[in-house]
Structures are given as C-alpha cells and as structure tokens.
Amino acid sequence: MVDDKHKDKLSFIDAELDRRNDRRQLRKIRNVLPLNGVEVNIDGRPMLNFCSNDYLGLSMHPLLQERSIEFIHKYGSGATASRLICGNYDFYEPVENKLAQLKQVEAALVMSSGFQANISVIPALADSHSLILSDQLNHNSLIQGCRLACCRVAVYRHNDLSHLAQLLEQNFDKGYSRILIATESVFSMDGDVVDMGGLVALAENFNAFLIVDDAHATGVLGRQGMGLTCGHDIDLVVGTFGKAGGSFGAYLACSEKLRTYMINCCSGLIYTTALPPAVVGAIDAALDLIPGMEAERKLLQANAAYLRGSLHEMGWSTGSSSTQIIPVMIGPVADALALSSWLEENGILISAIRPPTVPEGTSRIRLSLSALHTRKHIDRVIDVLQKWRSRKS
Ligand SMILES: Cc1ncc(COP(=O)(O)O)c(C=O)c1O
C-alpha cells in the first residue's frame, strides 16, 4: 500500500484521459486556417466548413475589420483594466445604447464572453434560498452558472413547458427567496426553438425571474435579426457576439435597474479586464450591419429547410431542428466519429458531437449553416452523405 504522502498526485489525470480515450471521448484541438467565410485549411487541405457559428459570414466582413483597426488606432490594443477601474473607455456606452435600442430593451451591458456571462450572472441573481429551473439541454455555461449559484436546481424536460409549469406549481409557495428559470431560445446542439410566448406567460404567472440565452438567435432570428427574445418581456437576456456577430464578447439586455445591479454584483463583469477596443469595434460594426441583413437571413433559413428536407428524404433524422443548426442524429459515438471522418476525407468539416456534450446514445454530427453557403455547397454535403448511406447498405 502506498501511503497518501507518496502516492502519485497526478494519477487522476492519466486515469481520466485513459477513460476518455477508451470511450472514444478524448478531445483534441487542431490548427485551422480560415480561407474565406465558408472554407478552412486543415493540415494543408482546403475543407468546406459546416461547423462554424458564423451564421452571417461576418467574421470576414471588411467593415468589422476596418472598425476594429480604427478602434485600435484610437484606443490601443487593450482596455488596461476592469470597467470599474479605468477600463470603461468611451466606446462602451454608445455600443450598449445601440444594442438596447435594437433589442427593444431599456439597457444593455457588454460582457467578456457568453460563457463568462452565464457563469456569473446566475450566481449574482440567486441566493442560497433560491430555486433555479433549468432546461435539460441547456448549454454547459448555464449549467455551470446554476452550479455556482449554490442553490437548489431542478431540471425540467427539454423544451417541455408543461413540465416546467408543473415544477412551478409545486414550488412557488415553498418559501424560496425567488424562482429563476434558465433556458436557451435556440438550443445549440439541437437547433430547436423555445415557445417564447408560452415561456414568458408561465414566468409571469408564477412571478419567476426569466433568463433567456439568445446566443444562437442573435443576428439570425427575430425582429431585425436581433434575437427571438425581441418584443418579449424577459427579465434578463444573454447573448453573444462570437456567433452571428462575427467577433467575440457577449451582452446582457435588461432593465436599467438590473444593469446597475450587475455592475455592482456580477463578478464576471467586475473582476475582469474590459473587452479590448478591437473587439468592441467589430461588435459596433456588426450592430450596424445585422438589422439590414434580411436577405441573408432569408437565404440562411431557406437553405436550412432545403438541407433538412434532403436529409429527411435520405432517411436521416434531424431531431426537432427548425433553424440553421441541424443535427444529424447517429446514436453511438463510434458511428458519429466514423461519419465525421468520412466527411473530412471528402473535404467537408462537420464535427461529431458526443457525450458529455450531448446525452449518452445521442451522438450526432451537427451542421451549422452560414448565409455564405451556396446551394452548390449544400448539395455537396448531401451528395457525400448519400454516398456514405449507399456505402453502408
Ligand atoms: C447557448 C450558448 N450560450 C453561451 C455560449 C458561450 O458563448 P461564448 O462563446 O461567447 O463564450 C455558447 C457557445 O459558445 C452557447 O452555445
């Protein structure tokens, strides 16, 4: 027996990596060189990219690049401190006002990232006597936020408002300091959409505090593409700029009072360096462009419907997707990995998504479309998937 003083303190690392390897869940990162909005170079090979979140193709847009450079020239490369110290450069508030107007809310607050926002706003809103009701398929950042809140968390069945209503009914008079509901508007791994009207009505009915993560709808859906939360009475909306926004960072959209509260109570804003000028420059430019990109949004949704239709005709299941995020349900991890590799051999990049990101037995490949994809690009994917099917049968 090795005593505690002499045992290998790093053995847990080998054990966990071996466990993941055995289950084919070991993750690796690879170098990627972007070629344009829809192609990347990996290991010297050009590949058609169907797994980025750059839904509008803004990451390569000249206006975002120019505004980033303009902001760098004027303000430098870093904000030098937290916004509460001396990092609140004068570009933040105009961007937040622009965003609040577009989101049709009183106020907005720019945050470092969607992950950082979710893991810090939820703990800021809950206390140890609160109850959080969280959708079963919420993004990991919302799950971590709930954990960090150190209160009771009850998970309701995915997108099942009757289960949520049942939990609210059971708990609203149990003496909790408050009940919070946390959900996404468009679910990141399934591409399905919440019934926003129904959700808001439920929250109102039970006086629950509603948090909606609009990350995958911002830029893509809703009024002027500003998200599915637009026009709804939601206590707190979180969204990101790293997806359809084409750059990085995140936002909160809320009341003026809640903004002030977050400036005072949200550790993820207070104890971190403010976003660098280049990033805020790109955000500012994206906010100028997004409202006018109706044609791109229509094309994106038409392409998504065309792709889903073709996949269904071939007998693939796309779950309950109704957006630009289209999972192709596979099941076993090994099969999802094999399909992803086959696509890659054929010059198409589509990642396999496997546990723990999605529940056991629901491994999939996940396609996400960009407005820059053409029908030709989509037909190429359909063709390769068709070949995979015929090869297997
Ligand atoms: C629903 C959702 N929320 C939050 C995040 C995190 O956002 P960010 O990439 O800005 O950290 C993601 C993915 O990245 C997401 O899919």
Q: Cα-flanking dihedrals φ and ψ of residue 170, to 5°?
A: -70, -25
**339 contacts 388 by C-beta, under 8 angstroms:** yes
- Catalytic residue annotation: 53, 139, 184, 188, 213, 216, 243
What contacts 335, CB < 8 A, 6 or more positions away? 363
The confidence score (pLDDT) of residue 357 equals 87
Of 34, 336, 351, 59, which Cα lies nearest the Cα of 188?
Answer: 351
Alpha helices in the chain (DSSP H): 11-22, 62-75, 92-103, 114-125, 140-148, 161-171, 196-205, 256-265, 267-270, 277-289, 294-313, 333-345, 375-392
Based on DSSP, count helices (H) and strands (E) in the chain, helices before strands: 13, 14
Compute the 3-state secondary structure of the chain and give helix, strand, coil in percent, each to the nearest 5. 40, 15, 40
76 shares a domain with 162? yes
The confidence score (pLDDT) of residue 1 equals 60
380 shares a domain with 255? no
The answer to whether residue 7 is domain-embedded is no
How many other C-beta atoms can be found within 10 angstroms of the C-beta atom of residue 106? 13
333 shares a domain with 194? no
Copy the structure tokens of residue 185.
Answer: 């508007």
CA 53 to chain centre: 8
How many distinct structural domains can be found in the chain?
2
The answer to whether residue 77 is domain-embedded is yes
If you compute the radius of gyration of the chain from its CA atoms, what whole number of angstroms results? 22
Interval 93-141: pLDDT, tens: 999 999 999 999 999 999 999 999 999 999 999 999 999 999 999 999 9
The answer to whether residue 13 is domain-embedded is no
The confidence score (pLDDT) of residue 340 equals 96
What contacts 261, CB < 8 A, 6 or more positions away? 124
Using CB distances shorter than 6 Å, the residues near ligand 1 are 113-115, 118, 139, 141, 184, 188, 213, 215-216, 240, 242, 250
Copy the structure tokens of residue 38.
Answer: 């829809």
Probe residue for ligand 1, chosen from 240, 272, 279, 357 as the CB with the greatest number of ligand atoms within 8 Å: 240
Task: Please report the atom of ligand 1 found closest to the CA of residue 240.
Answer: 10
250 shares a domain with 171? yes
CATH number at residue 383: 3.90.1150.10
How many whole angstroms from 139 Cα to the centroid of ligand 1?
A: 7
Using the CB atoms, write b or e for 89-102: b if 16+ within 10 Å: bebbeebbeebbeb
Whole-angstrom Cα distance, residue 293 to residue 291? 6
Query: In which residue ranges of the chain is pLDDT below 70?
Result: 1-2, 392-393
The confidence score (pLDDT) of residue 25 equals 84
Q: Which residue has its alpha carbon closest to ligand 1 atom 4?
A: 114
Of 243, 274, 223, 269, which Cα lies nearest the Cα of 92?
Answer: 274
Domain boundary among 234, 268, 291: 291
| Chain position carrying tokens 């090994």 | 334
> What's 39's DSSP letter?
E
How many whole angstroms from 38 Cα to the centroid of ligand 1?
A: 20
Domain boundary among 265, 291, 317: 291
Domain boundary among 271, 291, 311: 291
What contacts 102, CB < 8 A, 6 or more positions away? 224, 226, 287, 290, 291
127 shares a domain with 34? no
**79 contacts 87 by C-beta, under 8 angstroms:** yes
* Angle at CA of residue 211, ends 115 and 234, nearest 5°: 135
CATH number at residue 74: 3.40.640.10
How many whole angstroms from 140 Cα to the centroid of ligand 1?
A: 8
Of 365, 338, 341, 361, which Cα lies nearest the Cα of 351?
Answer: 365
The confidence score (pLDDT) of residue 202 equals 98
Probe residue for ligand 1, chosen from 115, 213, 247, 252 as the CB with the greatest number of ligand atoms within 8 Å: 115
How many whole angstroms from 9 Cα to the centroid of ligand 1?
A: 33
216 shares a domain with 127? yes
Whole-angstrom Cα distance, residue 261 to residue 79? 22
Domain that holds residue 337: 23-56+294-392
Q: Which residue has its alpha carbon closest to ligand 1 atom 9?
A: 114
**305 contacts 378 by C-beta, under 8 angstroms:** no
The confidence score (pLDDT) of residue 2 equals 67
Query: Does this model's pTM top 0.85?
Result: yes
